[in-house]
Amino acid sequence: AEFLHPDEQKFFDVALGLVQTAGRLVRDAFDTPTSVVMIKSSSTDLVTETDQAVEKMLIDGLSKAFPDHKFIGEESVSGGAKIEFTDAPTWIIDPIDGTTNFVHRIPMIAICVGLTIKKQLRAGIVFNPITRELYTAQTGRGAFKNGFPIHVSNNKTINTSVLCASMGIHNVKAMGGKWLEMAQSNIRKQIEAGVRGHRSFGSAAINMIMVSQGCVDAYVEYGLHAWDMAAPAVVLLEAGGVMFDPSGSDFNLMGRKILCAATKELAMEISSKLTHADFEPEA
Ligand code: IPD
Ligand code: CA
Ligand code: CA
Ligand code: CA
């Protein structure tokens, strides 16, 4: 596989160093919870000083190394502002995916740094600093956990699958009662279709990683943002997984929803069971 940019390896190496430093910051804050918790849109939408400090540290470090690069970071995108996604090398950053887990001291969180060039996914780093599991991938070069190759399962049917179906509670709130009904009925339909089990880890990135390493067979969620999906998407694809819009059409990084799976057959079976809707909330 060809690099789209001659310096891609350097981009990846610099980002990896910064993520490792960020990991120490998050681990210290997790072990000694002193960071102030703030409420964003509601009591189900939190941010802490650690989220903000980590995002700033990553963006400062990357922009110092690569002054012409662009950034899309969760805590730097101010409420409702339209995200500008261009052909330039763009770092898509979620400083802590799983902030509710972080605040509640559930050790399932991930620092996510993804890179796009010409709007194509090129690299993804997903690091859980608590369990010290580091997932890395570059397009065309495989997916790794702490340096060892990982692969999705080869599950093709719902009745041998463990599915991850998260409702994203603040999204359900943002969309109102109709949305709650859809989320509930979609989970009911999966149970009726004979799914072996359901899991949800409170972090979109960890949900996608669970598919990437073959523990979970598929994952559906509505309401996500590019920063939840970019980095783990590279890991998932390089681990042999597939990614679609839940309706079964092409995946769109800016489309706010995902259906990912170990195999295309499984993805299509799940897609055919679900009720679909567009996700266009105010916030
Ligand atoms: C959230 C988590 C959660 C998902 C939400 C995301 P955050 O990210 O990934 O699993 O359901 O939609 O916003 O806010 O913890 O970075
Ligand atoms: Ca958040
Ligand atoms: Ca997130
Ligand atoms: Ca976050």
Q: Is there a contact between 217 and 198 (Cβ–Cβ < 8 Å)? A: no
Is the pLDDT assigned to residue 283 strictly greater than 60?
no
CATH of 8-149, one of 3.50.50.60, 1.10.8.50, 3.40.50.10090, 3.30.540.10: 3.30.540.10
Atom 15 of ligand 1 has which residue's CA nearest to it?
98
Ligand 1 contact, 171 CB (< 6 A):
yes
At residue 190 the predicted structure's pLDDT band, cuts being 50, 70 and 90, is confident
Ligand 1 contact, 168 CB (< 6 A):
yes
Q: Give the atom of ligand 1 at the shortest distance from the alpha carbon of 203.
A: 10
The packing angle between helices 264-273 and 177-192, to 10°, is 120
pLDDT in tens, 113-156: 999 999 999 999 999 999 999 999 999 999 999 999 999 999 99
Atom 5 of ligand 1 has which residue's CA nearest to it?
168
Ligand 1 contact, 203 CB (< 6 A):
yes
At residue 43 the predicted structure's pLDDT band, cuts being 50, 70 and 90, is confident
* % helix, strand, coil for the chain, step of 5: 35, 25, 40
**How many angstroms separate the CA atoms of 226 and 271, rounded?**
21
Cα(58) to centroid(ligand 2), Å = 17
The domain locations on the chain are: 8-149, 158-273
Tell me what pLDDT residue 180 has. Answer: 77
The catalytic site residues sit at 74, 94, 96-97, 99, 228
Atom 2 of ligand 1 has which residue's CA nearest to it?
203
Question: Which of 23, 280, 8 lies closest to 124, judged by CA?
Answer: 8
User: ipTM surpassing 0.85, yes or no?
Assistant: yes
Q: What is the CATH number of domain 158-273?
A: 3.40.190.80
pLDDT in tens, 212-243: 999 999 999 988 999 999 999 999 999 999 99
Closest ligand by atom to 95 CA: 4
